[in-house]
Amino acid sequence: GDPDVLEYYKSDHAKKPIRVIDLHCCEQVDAGLTFKRKEFQDSFVFDIKTAERTFYLVAETEEEMNRWVRSICQL
């Protein structure tokens, strides 16, 4: 696939993405966000802000979150 977009799917078996985020349209990336919602309190949340929308993503570890943020910022 295109390395400059982020695609997300309904499941691992889905053929078509729900949405494609053009990372060249990324205006800001924030790491280490905190939320009051209980299911996200101990999560490694970061966001991707575009002119149209803010996407919130959750990584499994802090290191993985930081790798995602670095990679997106390099574009």
Report percent pLDDT > 70 for the chain: 99
Task: Compute, in degrees rounded to 10, the torsion defined by CA atoms 33, 38, 39, 41.
Answer: 30
Cα 24 from chain centroid (whole Å): 14
Categorize the per-residue pLDDT at 45 as very low, low, confident or very high, splitting at 50, 70 and 90. very high
Q: What is the pTM of this model?
A: 0.80
Q: Is the pLDDT of residue 30 over 80?
A: yes
Do 4 and 24 contact (CB within 8 A), yes or no? yes
Contacts of residue 2, Cβ cutoff 8 Å, sequence gap at least 6 = none
Task: Record the tokens describing residue 63, joined without a space.
Answer: 């290191």
Average pLDDT, the chain: 90
Contacts of residue 7, Cβ cutoff 8 Å, sequence gap at least 6 = 1, 17, 19, 20, 21
